[in-house]
Amino acid sequence: MIEAELKACVHAPEEMLRRLDERGVGRAEVYQDTYYDTAEGALEVRGEELRVRTVHGVDETRTVLTYKGAPVDEESGSKPEHETRVEDAQAVHAMLRGLGYVPAVAFEKRCRNYAFEARGRQMLATLVRVPELDGTFLELETLVEEKDVACALDDVREVFVELGIGADDLTREQYTAAVKAHRRGGAASR
């Protein structure tokens, strides 16, 4: 499946929360993300991602292992995604290191997730703050077959418009790159 996703900067987070609350019940979660790569950075060069995410929610803590392939849509950066829940986070970290992968970057995301249906699709809207970065972001995604990516992205754009997000608010900057730049003393994401 392809994660047809767009991300935008949110200029009025409280207003966005209100609009999202009209669509569904929000779920507050904190993500602890560790991205892995080869020592040479081969995954990043190919646009791929290998991530271990531990999600701390109100009712549970869970860990998922995710591999995202190279983008199938250059404008949005939408990628094939393969994800599975894992029982033992430390074992997965040890396995990846044992296979020769190294942690490329680790950081925290504070999220509020909203699952809802729009335009005949199941969508997930995530309002995101990364403590190291300036700003609040909104990710909106739906899972589709590769042949449906363009239509799904059109639907995502329409929902963004309904939420008050304009085309000028869209961003392709990845959190991983923004966090790395911030730690090197570069500009924080915006």
Q: Measure Cα distances from 157 to 17, 19, 94, 142, 170 in Å.
A: 18, 16, 40, 12, 10
Per-residue pLDDT for 188 more than 80? no
User: Which pLDDT score is estimated for 169?
Assistant: 97
Name every residue whose Cβ is closer than 8 Å to that of residue 7 and which is 6 or more positions away in sequence: 137, 138, 139, 140, 170, 171, 172
What pTM value is reported for the model? 0.94
Distance in angstroms (rounded) separating the CA atoms of residues 180 and 164: 30
DSSP codes of every residue in 66-107: EEE-S-SBTTTTBEEEEEEEES-HHHHHHHHHHTT-EEEEEE
User: Which pLDDT score is estimated for 11?
Assistant: 96
pLDDT digits (tens, 9 = 90+) for 72-98: 999 999 999 999 999 999 999 999 999
Q: SS3 for 159?
A: helix
Q: Measure Cα distances from 174 to 61, 161, 171 in Å.
A: 25, 22, 8
Q: What percent of the chain has pLDDT over 70?
A: 98
Per-residue pLDDT for 116 more than 90? yes
Distance in angstroms (rounded) separating the CA atoms of residues 60 and 110: 15
Point out which residues pair with 82 in neighbouring strands: 67
For residues 136-149, give the mean pLDDT.
97
What domains, with CATH codes, occur in the chain? 2-183 (2.40.320.10)
Per-residue pLDDT for 186 more than 90? no
- Torsion angle, CA of 37/38/39/40, rounded to 10 degrees? -100
For residues 145-153, give the mean pLDDT.
97
For residues 135-151, give the mean pLDDT.
97
User: Which pLDDT score is estimated for 96?
Assistant: 98
For residues 21-28, give the mean pLDDT.
96
Name every residue whose Cβ is closer than 8 Å to that of residue 143 and which is 6 or more positions away in sequence: 1, 2, 3, 4, 81, 122
- Check if the beta carbon of residue 64 is closer than 8 Å to that of residue 86: yes
Q: What percent of the chain has pLDDT over 90?
A: 97
User: Which pLDDT score is estimated for 130?
Assistant: 98
User: Which pLDDT score is estimated for 190?
Assistant: 44
Average pLDDT, the chain: 96
For residues 95-123, give the mean pLDDT.
98
How much of the chain is helix, strand and coil, in % rounded to 5? 30, 45, 30
Q: How far is CA 159 from the centre of its chain?
A: 17
User: Which pLDDT score is estimated for 189?
Assistant: 45
User: Which pLDDT score is estimated for 187?
Assistant: 60
